[in-house]
């Protein structure tokens, strides 16, 4: 029996929300937690875009979470009861993300939120999540420079992908680099990190351009790249724009063997959407690739693709990181229930019991990962893959050991992210964002 409800909430027009710094002050979560009762489903909110410029990666996040919760429910659920996802289409609109977050927490009274692909959307909803002392599972790479007490992240930080990718590309292709990104906080902050790794690798930045999120016009940027003659391009372009960028790169006559694109976002799903001929030869840094050769991944790929959720025909890094959030939630909820009792579990209680949680090799397609006890990001093994002619990726470099997530890797004077907040060198709590 399929216990999971998949109700698509209607969305209304909303003004774009500004990305604001989150306060450390939080209200009690008692008023906003779902009234849990043993035997009744646990409601969770799935806050992704099914339409608009961000739909290419985010639709798969919704699909794989439904798959994961089906899998969990068939194996006894969470704490012995099924999970009931409430699905939202955020329409690639930051105002809608913000509005639907309030609806999921206040009206639907979900126990946790799973959502967002961009840092702009995450920052649009975090003020509400923090104010209500709720819980967000954020399943993709981000820039760091943030220490919230209500977010658990399963994607890599900058020190877990670009720190390896930049020196690898400099060594293989040359020192001259051109940065291209979408115009919002993640690409800009990621490039601050990349510039430091580039300097340490002896590289040279020969250009830096940002295009509006969702834009498909890269003619002027490609003209500047042609003039600058870089050895490779470092891309933090996302969503539909990423697909347009790769297609126009090839259509304008640029050659991947002499000027490849090194990306933090262009995986199997983007390559499938653009056509493998436009992705072949380019590089991606990520902890997961569909071609990972281990029994758990082989089972995951086979079962997901033959399920009703595998309609897009591939798995990829963001999908796998999203899949992991379901199992991190399950473990955290059950640990909290053991500590405080099932009916007393709150979003904050789950978070407070999630430090150190491990997703073992037999569940995680990328292999063992675990949640850091202080900053609630994930320990993982970075990898670099090169896109092949069939759209799959050949892994060309992989870390031998897990890398600790460090949200302030380029801001050592900011302090240390702890379970109670960002502590400065003096030991006092500070504002949690740069």
Distance CA 234, CA 164 (A): 13
Instruction: With respect to residue 322, please indicate whether it lies within any of the assigned structural domains.
Output: yes
Look at residue 385 and tell me if it is in a domain.
no
Separation between Cα atoms, residue 212 and residue 248, nearest integer Å: 16
Q: For residues 61 and 169, state if they share a domain.
A: no
pTM of structure: 0.90
- In this structure, are 24 and 146 located in the same domain? yes
CA–CA distance, 88 with 85 (Å, rounded to integer) = 10
Q: Domain end: 222, 239, 263, which one?
A: 263
> Same domain, yes or no, for 216 and 334?
no
Is residue 235 situated within a structural domain?
yes
Picking from 182, 130, 192, the residue whose alpha carbon sits closest to that of residue 157 is 192
Taking a C-beta distance cutoff of 8 angstroms, is the pair 143, 161 a contact? no
pLDDT of amino acid 412:
86
Taking the chain (434 residues) in runs of 10, the rounded mean pLDDT of each run is 37 32 40 72 97 92 98 97 97 96 95 95 95 96 90 96 95 98 93 95 98 93 98 95 96 96 95 96 98 98 98 95 98 97 95 97 98 97 97 97 95 90 88 65
Question: Is 301 in the same domain as 416?
Answer: yes
Domain boundary among 263, 286, 317: 263
Question: CB–CB of 405/160 below 8 Å?
Answer: yes
Q: Is residue 178 part of a domain?
A: yes
Q: Are residues 38 and 11 in the same domain?
A: yes
When divided into structural domains, the chain yields a total of: 2
Q: Tell me how far apart the alpha carbons of residues 79 and 428 are, in angstroms, rounded to a whole number.
A: 37
Q: How far apart are the C-alpha atoms of 317 and 284, rounded to whole Å?
A: 10
Q: Are 125 and 253 in a shared domain?
A: no
Check whether residue 32 and residue 144 sit in a common domain: yes
Instruction: Answer whether residue 394 is part of any domain.
Output: no
pLDDT at 36: 87
Last residue of one domain, picked from the residues 263, 285, 314: 263
Element (H, E) at 345: none
274 domain residue, yes or no: no
Specify the pLDDT at position 295: 98
Q: Are residues 255 and 358 in the same domain?
A: no
Domain-located, residue 395: no
CATH number at residue 184: 3.40.50.2300
Domain that holds residue 206: 162-263
CB proximity list for 298: less than 8 A, separation 6 or greater? none
Same domain as 148, residue 173: no
* CA pair distance 215, 331, nearest whole angstrom: 40
Q: What's the chain's Rg over C-alpha atoms?
A: 21
215 within domain boundaries: yes
| Together in a domain, 133 and 90 | yes
78 and 171 in a single domain? The answer is no
Residue 120 and residue 140 share a domain: yes
The pLDDT, as a whole number, for residue 132 is 93
CB 274 within 8 A of CB 246: yes
Q: What is the pLDDT of residue 25?
A: 35
């Amino acid at each position: 029996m399929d216990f999971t409800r998949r109700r698509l909430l209607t969305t209304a027009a909303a003004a774009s929300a500004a990305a604001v710094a989150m306060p450390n002050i939080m209200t009690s979560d008692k008023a906003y937690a779902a009234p849990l009762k043993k035997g009744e489903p646990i409601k969770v909110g799935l806050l992704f875009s099914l339409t608009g410029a961000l739909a290419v990666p985010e639709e798969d996040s919704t699909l794989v979470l439904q798959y994961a919760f089906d899998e969990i429910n068939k194996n006894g659920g969470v704490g012995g009861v099924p999970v009931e996802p409430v699905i939202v289409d955020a329409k690639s609109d930051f105002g809608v993300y913000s509005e639907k977050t309030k609806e999921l927490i206040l009206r639907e009274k979900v126990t946790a939120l799973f959502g967002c692909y961009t840092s702009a959307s995450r920052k649009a909803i975090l003020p509400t999540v923090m104010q209500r002392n709720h819980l967000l599972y954020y399943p993709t790479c981000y820039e760091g420079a943030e220490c919230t007490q209500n977010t658990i992240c399963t994607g890599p930080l900058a020190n877990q992908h670009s720190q390896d990718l930049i020196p690898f590309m400099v060594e293989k292709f040359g020192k001259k680099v051109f940065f291209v990104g979408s115009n919002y906080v993640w690409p800009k902050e990621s490039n601050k990190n990349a510039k430091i790794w580039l300097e340490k690798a002896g590289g040279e930045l020969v250009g830096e351009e940002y295009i509006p999120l969702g834009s498909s016009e890269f003619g002027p940027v490609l003209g500047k790249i042609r003039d600058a003659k870089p050895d490779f391009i470092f891309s933090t372009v996302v969503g539909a724009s990423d697909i347009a960028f790769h297609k126009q790169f090839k259509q304008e006559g640029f050659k991947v063997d002499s000027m490849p694109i090194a990306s933090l976002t262009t995986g199997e799903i983007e390559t499938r959407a653009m056509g493998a001929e436009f992705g072949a030869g380019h590089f991606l840094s990520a902890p997961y690739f569909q071609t990972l050769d281990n029994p758990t991944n082989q089972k995951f790929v086979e079962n997901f693709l033959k399920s009703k959720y595998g309609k897009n025909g591939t798995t990829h890094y963001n999908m796998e990181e999203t899949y992991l959030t379901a199992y991190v939630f399950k473990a955290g909820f059950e640990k909290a229930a053991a500590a405080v009792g099932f009916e007393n579990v709150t979003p904050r209680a789950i978070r407070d019991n999630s430090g150190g949680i491990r997703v073992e090799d037999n569940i995680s397609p990328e292999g063992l990962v675990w949640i850091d006890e202080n900053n609630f990001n994930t320990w993982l093994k970075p990898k670099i893959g090169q896109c092949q002619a069939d759209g799959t990726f050949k892994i060309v470099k992989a870390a031998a050991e897990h890398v600790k997530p460090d949200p302030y890797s380029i801001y050592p004077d900011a302090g240390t992210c702890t379970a109670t907040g960002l502590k400065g060198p003096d030991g006092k709590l500070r504002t949690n964002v740069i």
